[in-house]
Amino acid sequence: MFLRRPPDAGERHALSPLTTLRDVVEIVAIVAAGAWAFYTFVYQNDIKPANSPPLVQFEATMTRLGERRGFVAVESHISIKNEGVGDVWFYGIAETILGSTIRPRPRSEPPLLGADVSHTELEPGWIDDPPTAVYSVAIVTQLGNSRSGTTLELGPGKSLPFDRLFYVRAGRYDELQMHIDLRYAAHPKRISFHLATVGNLTELVPSNPAIDTNGDAGTPASLSLW
């Protein structure tokens, strides 16, 4: 039988750096694996979505379908998409279609342009009369009104279409404009909303004006009825 001689102090000293390096590499590998798992499964899936602001985009169009019995049929199409990394919860959406007519006016003299002018626009030979509301539709979800039976939420990358059909008198309006009021949040926090007529628009109004909510409002589409 052969017996291995235990290493003397010199040999133990020679092996110690290699053993330490191996231990350090193993510890670093374990820590890196744990950090990667935390980033992938905890941060990306839970922490980041929970703390990221909502990112919502919408597109809108109006299409003239035809004319019959003195009315023009128009279809409005709205597509709302969640471009963020977390869910988006909606308090409601309001759509108002405004109609306006065009009338002529005399042209004014061209403006005098100086070296410091960076923008100019000639007054056209026409003017829009004040628009009037010709169609509106709006909903408040259960998140904004507990009596509502509608819930609306979108996951990341998801989109939702809204298609409406309405009619206007032929020859009454020259142009239609769409106005959208959209309210949403990154978390399903209840905030009371009600519908109100502001000017000639239907809008979503928080019952407490001091509460700040995410929202988009604008005129994303117009249509000539000629």
For the chain, domain boundaries: 11-51, 54-106+120-224
**Domain 54-106+120-224 classification at class level:** mainly beta
Residue 209: how many other CB atoms lie within 10 Å: 7
Percent residues over pLDDT 90 in the chain = 55
Q: What is the pTM of this model?
A: 0.73
Residue 39 has pLDDT above 50, yes or no: yes
Q: Which residues pair with 94 in a beta bridge?
A: 138, 181
The length of the chain, given as a count of residues: 226
Report the distance separating Cα 138 and Cα 93, nearest Å.
6
Cβ-contact 194, 34 below 8 angstroms: no
pLDDT band at 45 (very low <50, low <70, confident <90, very high): low
pLDDT band at 210 (very low <50, low <70, confident <90, very high): confident
Residue 25 has pLDDT above 90, yes or no: no
Q: What phi-psi label fits residue 105: left (phi over 0), alpha (psi between -120 and 50 degrees) or beta?
A: beta
Residue 121 has pLDDT above 50, yes or no: yes
The least confident of 8-12, 30-34, 61-65 is: 8-12
Please state the rounded mean pLDDT for residues 75-103: 95
Residue 147: how many other CB atoms lie within 10 Å: 6
In tens, the pLDDT along 180-191 reads 999 999 999 999
pLDDT band at 1 (very low <50, low <70, confident <90, very high): very low
